[in-house]
Chain A
Amino acid sequence: MPTTGVLDEQQVLLSTLPPSRGQTRLALAIVLVLLAAFCATVPFATVPLPYVREFIPAYATAMFVINSITSALLFVQFSLVRSRALLAISGGYLFSTLMTIPWALTFPDLFEQTEIASTTWGLLSTLWHLGFALFVIAYTLLKDNESPTQWLRRSLPFAVLSSAAGVVIVDALVWLVTTTNASMPTTFALFERSYTYWNGLLLLAFLALALLWARRRSVLDLWLMVVMCGLLIELCLIFLVGRRYVVGWYASRVFFLISSTLVLAILLSETAFLYARLARSVLAESREREARLMTMDVLSASIAHEMNQPLASIVTNVDAAARWMGRPAPDLDEVRASLAQIRNSAYRARDLIGSVRAMVKRDGRNRTPLDLNELVREVLALTERELQRSRISVELRLHEQLQPVKADRIQLQQVLINLITNAIEAMRETKQPRVLMVRSALQEPNRVLISVADSGPGIDPGIVDRIFNPLFTTKSNGMGMGLAICRSIIEGHEGRLWASPGAQGGAAFEFALPADVA
């Protein structure tokens, strides 16, 4: 079971999440389908189709909705990652959204218009494509040399500012074009039919696509490329046909609409998926915290319980000593015995506090890259005498290429000593052969596993879920805190400690820690 670590920024944001292979394939498939459709349309491009007056308005409405939603999505991304690149691309989509309105309204055959209006429409089309391509280029260029700048801290004013700027620009352009003298529109009309114009536009769009391809990194980049492909196809078709109400003309719009819709759908689903992942991670973290608090509660109860033992012993010994001394013939030997007991109890209390401290201390300051194999050998050397005395043979199976783990040496040593001591205790009554098996292994992905198994009687299934509880002990002198402390230490290192039936019939205690990926 993987531990839910804190999600890293790269995995949570559309603008930084690298696309999965499936997504890349999907994007490629869509582009290929569009290209195929384009090629299929080319032979019939100039075939006239019935005049559908509502086509452009319907198309404009659809594009308005799609662009505004995409723009909103991207502004949300911007609010999370204050980068100029994201501001550029969200601005670009906002610009697109706003341009749709005058563009649709100036469509020549919608109202009864003069030649000027026709050019207006053409000009607005150009500006729309031009503007969008420029915004995409700006996004691509600003994308990678990023550090969130101070002045972008409050994103809302900028969203408002860019909307206002967009509206102003668009309106200014419309006004300019409609109030300028006649020569300008004609010049433009001529220009629009020239190869330079189309080459220029196509080149720009192609440039945008090429830059995106060169600097592609995230899901967003991938799908922007699909949009640009759609745009390129639209431009090519319009260029090829040069007339309205033919197959090519309708098709170009439809292709771009489809690519934009698909991209939006995918961005939305990706956002939903990331949201789900984020929600799950947050919930898991909060549940873990709950469990930890509960453990703390139980732990503090067990600390109280454990502290009361030596304290009661001290008090009772004091009372006893007082009575021994109060006798007509004071029994000083008894008094001395009581005093000795009092001192032992006090030391016990001190040790208890020490181990509690060790358990509760979660600071990672003393963490260094550790070779666990080395630590295992060290601990086995420390416990050698005890192992020999109990006539326990040790079987070592250590993985040679074990990755280092960033951990507190003393704490992990404590854990290992505890587990090995428990194993020795467990095998006390077992007949020969008594085997202690210590194993180290690599676990996917990037985790190091240590296993300590004994050939003892194993863990009673009735108590297996309680053995890590702070209050639980099967030892007469036990404080019941050992395994609880071990678990707390391991979990403090983002690892997991668990018990399971061992291969030799005894018990196996295993812990896994994340490898140090320095």
Chain B
Amino acid sequence: MQHRAIISIIDDDESMRCALKSLVTSLGFKAYTFASAEQYLDSSYLDDTSCLITDLQMPGLNGIELQQSLLAQGRHIPIIFVTAFPEERMRARAIEAGALGFLGKPFDSSTLVELLDKALEIGRKS
């Protein structure tokens, strides 16, 4: 790749943010982390994000609400949900709203890698 794709990571848990950042960077991407959905929405990375990895349950806007907010803005950023409490209902809602993936913590990094590749494919096509 000529320029490294930008992956945005949102999680209220700091250790999770760091771990994901380390993993994503080790894969060769550029990672930016945010402690909350609001922080991300206020940032300037909305246009540049190739893929979004976000937690579901967060104080303030939760993952699903973030997804809807982005869709309302007309942005179709590929979203991968990573949550400690994967509920079937939430999974259905997320996938229905166009999420790329829905993983439960702890997750196998190879699954995440596959999803990231898929996200970039979509990015390249559009």
Give A327 to B26 CA distance when docked, in angstroms.
Answer: 9
How many residues of chain B are within 8 Å of chain A by beta carbon? Answer: 26
Chain B residues with CB under 8 Å of A311's CB are 105-106
Q: What is the bound-complex CA distance between A471 and B20, given in angstroms?
A: 23
Known: A308-B105, A313-B15, A316-B19. 5 other contacts (CB 8 A): A313-B16, A317-B19, A317-B22, A323-B23, A341-B18
Interface string of A287-315 (1 = CB under 8 A from B): 00000000000000100111011111111
Q: Select one of B22, B27, B36 contacting A337, CB under 8 A.
A: B22
CB distance from A210 to the nearest CB of B (A): 74
Least distance between A423 CB and chain B CB atoms (Å): 18
Taking a contact as CB atoms under 8 Å apart, the answer to whether B35 and A334 are in contact is: no
Most A CB contacts (10 A, CB to CB) among B22, B27, B57, B105 go to B22
Of the candidates B15, B22, B108, the one whose C-beta lies within 8 Å of that of A344 is B15
Query: Is the C-beta of B68 less than 8 angstroms from some C-beta in chain A?
Result: no
Q: Does B74 contact A (CB under 8 A)?
A: no
A315 to chain B, nearest CB (A): 4
**Complex CA–CA separation, A476 to B38 (angstroms):** 13
CA distance A476 to B84 in the complex (A): 15
Interface residues of A (CB under 8 A from B): 301, 304-306, 308-317, 319-321, 323-324, 327, 331, 334, 337-338, 341, 344-345, 348, 471, 473-477
Q: Across the interface, name the chain B residue whose C-beta is closest to A310.
A: B15
Contact of B19 among A320, A327, A331 (CB under 8 A): A320
Q: Is the CB of B105 within 8 A of A334?
A: no
Residue of A whose beta carbon sits closest to that of B22: A320
Query: Residues of A contacting B36 with CB < 8 Å?
Result: 476
**Cβ-closest 8 pairs across A and B:** A312-B105, A319-B109, A308-B84, A312-B106, A323-B26, A316-B19, A320-B23, A315-B106
Distance of A344 Cα from B84 Cα, bound (Å): 18
- Knowing A315-B107, A324-B26, A477-B14, say if A341 contacts B19 (CB, 8 Å): yes
- B16 in contact with A305 (CB, 8 Å): no
Cα A379 to Cα B59 with chains together (Å): 29
Quick check: B26 and A312 within 8 Å, CB to CB?
A: no
Using A317-B22, A341-B19 as known contacts, say yes or no to A308 and B106 having CB atoms under 8 A apart.
yes
B residues 61-115 in Cβ contact with A at 8 Å: 82, 84-85, 104-109
Interface residues of B (CB under 8 A from A): 12-16, 18-20, 22-23, 25-27, 35-36, 57, 59, 82, 84-85, 104-109
Residues of B within 8 A of A310 (CB): 15
CB distance from A352 to the nearest CB of B (A): 12
Bound complex: CA A334 to CA B84 (Å): 25
Whole-angstrom distance between the alpha carbons of A476 and B59 in the complex? 7
Q: Contact check, B26 vs A320: say whether CB atoms are below 8 A apart.
A: yes
Identify the interface centre among A304, A312, A324: most chain B CB within 10 Å of its CB. Answer: A312
User: Are the C-beta atoms of A312 and B16 separated by less than 8 Å?
Assistant: yes
Find the residue from A323, A331, A348, A474 having the highest chain B CB count within 10 A. A323
B42 to A: closest C-beta gap in Å:
16
Given the known A-B contacts A308-B84, A334-B26, A474-B59, are A316 and B104 also in contact in the complex, defined by CB atoms under 8 Å? no
Whether A308 pairs with B19 at a CB distance below 8 angstroms is no
Among residues of B, the one whose C-beta sits closest to the C-beta of A477 is: B14
Closest chain A residue to B107 by CB distance?
A312
Knowing A314-B106, A474-B59, the reply to whether A345 touches B26 (Cβ < 8 A) is: no
Question: In the docked arrangement, what's the CA distance between A344 and B15, Å?
Answer: 8
CB A82 to nearest CB in B, in angstroms, measures 55
A325, chain B: closest CB distance, angstroms: 9
Most B CB atoms within 10 A — which of A319, A323, A327?
A319
* Cross-chain contact of B106 among A316, A331, A337 (Cβ < 8 A): A316
Question: Across the interface, which residues of A come within 8 angstroms of B59, CB to CB?
Answer: 473-476
Set of chain B residues within 8 Å of A475, measured between Cβ atoms = 59
Contacts of A317 in B (CB 8 A): 19, 22-23
Known interface pairs A308-B105, A320-B23, A323-B27. Does A476 touch B15 (Cβ–Cβ under 8 Å)?
no
Q: Is the CB of A316 within 8 A of B23?
A: yes
- Complex Cα distance A315/B104, Å? 12
Do the beta carbons of B106 and A348 come within 8 Å of each other?
no
Q: Which residues of B contact A320 (CB under 8 A)?
A: 19, 22-23, 25-26, 109
* CB proximity of B4 to chain A, nearest CB, Å: 15
The distance in angstroms between the C-alpha atoms of A471 and B57, with both chains bound, is: 10
Q: Is the CB of A313 within 8 A of B13?
A: yes
Given A320-B19, A476-B35: A309 and B84 interface contact (C-beta under 8 Å): yes
Interface centre among A309, A310, A338 (most CB of B within 10 A): A309
Minimum distance in angstroms from B51 CB to a CB of chain A: 16
Which chain A residue shows the least CB distance to B11? A309
Bound form: Cα–Cα A374–B37 in Å = 44
Contacts of B26 in A (CB 8 A): 320, 323-324, 327, 331, 334
> Are the CB atoms of A319 and B15 closer together than 8 Å?
no
Minimum CB–CB distance for B31 against chain A, Å: 11
